[in-house]
Amino acid sequence: MASELPTKTYIETIDVKNTESTIQSLDKLIKDMNGIDILVISAGIGHINSSLDWTLEKETIDTNVSGFTAIAGVGMRHFIKNGAGHLVGISSIARIRGSDIAPAYNASKAFMSNYLEGLSRKVAREKLPITITDIQPGFVDTALVKGDKIFWMASPKKAAKQTYNAINRKKRITYITKRWILIAWLLKILPGYLYRKL
Ligand SMILES: NC(=O)c1ccc[n+]([C@@H]2O[C@H](COP(=O)([O-])OP(=O)(O)OC[C@H]3O[C@@H](n4cnc5c(N)ncnc54)[C@H](OP(=O)(O)O)[C@@H]3O)[C@@H](O)[C@H]2O)c1
């Protein structure tokens, strides 16, 4: 990407599972860049884990919960200090209900969305000029998606374009692609006993 971009780029390789070094590296990156206006947290993993293998569950929690929270904290502290900024997290439609085959993934995305809502309430109540956006994709054709019979799978290009537009419009929550709002609505109203039978 750096070689393709016409503007100056700054690169830092970060393993978000190591939260202490993530915070240090991100602080350094922000300093090198002379501040940032927007922070998009996209790093995430998901495992099909029907056997509830702890290593896989832990990796998901370390990345999607601890890593996410560490990065969000660095961004928020910087934006509060600077008096402006935009924090974007990529959670998922999966955040709405629990999963039998990937329980840690869905739970981690519920954490992300809930955390972002908490931050949006914080900025509203403290009148901070900071925007909080929660991007909630359905299925996007990337390495993260496992299994067959995937429906409404968007191309990464289409998903990226809709995500970009939602960020520009400073949306609080957006579904990618847009029609996933229907699934989100259904998932929210479906009673537990019916959801368990699906
Ligand atoms: N694809 C979907 O259908 C879908 C649906 C809902 C939500 N999402 C969310 O969208 C986000 C992006 O996923 P994607 O679909 O673009 O999948 P992806 O192609 O697998 O990308 C995942 C990204 O996360 C990075 N990452 C994973 N573990 C990391 C770690 N420990 N430290 C730093 N970076 C790490 C990966 O970096 P490396 O390449 O260096 O490993 C990669 O860039 C994720 O949060 C995912 O949960 C995706």
Residue 188: give its domain's CATH number: 3.40.50.720
Closest Cα to atom 35, ligand 1: which residue?
43
Chunked in runs of 10, what are the mean pLDDT values of the chain (198 residues)? Answer: 93 97 98 97 97 98 98 98 97 98 98 98 97 98 86 95 98 97 97 94
pLDDT score for 151: 87
Task: Please report the pLDDT score of residue 146 as a whole number.
Answer: 80
Q: What is the pTM for the complete model shown?
A: 0.96
Range of the domain at 132: 36-195
Residue 30 lies inside a defined structural domain of this protein? no
Within-domain flag for 24 = no
Let me know if residue 66 belongs to a domain: yes
- Taken in order 93, 177, 84, 128, the sign of the CA dihedral is negative
DSSP secondary-structure letter at 93? G
Considering the domain boundaries, does residue 70 fall inside one?
yes
Distance 136 CA to ligand 1 centre (A): 13
pLDDT for the residue numbered 160: 98
| Distance of CA 95 from the midpoint of ligand 1 (Å) | 15
On whether residue 133 sits in a domain, the answer given is yes
Q: Is residue 154 part of a domain?
A: yes
Q: How far is CA 143 from CA 8, 147, 156, 166, in A?
A: 28, 11, 11, 23
CB 70, CB 16: distance < 8 Å: yes
Residue with CA closest to ligand 1 atom 32: 15
Catalytic residues, by residue number, are 105
Say if ligand 1 is within 6 A of residue 175 CB: no
Q: How many domains is the chain built from?
A: 1
3-state class (DSSP) for residue 42? coil
Q: Which of 142, 173, 175, 177 for a ligand 1 pocket mutation test, highest count of atoms within 8 Å of Cβ?
A: 142
Is 154 a pocket residue for ligand 1 (Cβ < 6 Å)? no
CB 119 within 8 A of CB 164: no
Ligand 1 binding pocket includes 131 (Cβ within 6 Å): no
17 lines ligand 1 (CB under 6 A): yes
Decide if 168 is inside a domain: yes
Q: Per the domain annotation, does 179 fall within a domain?
A: yes
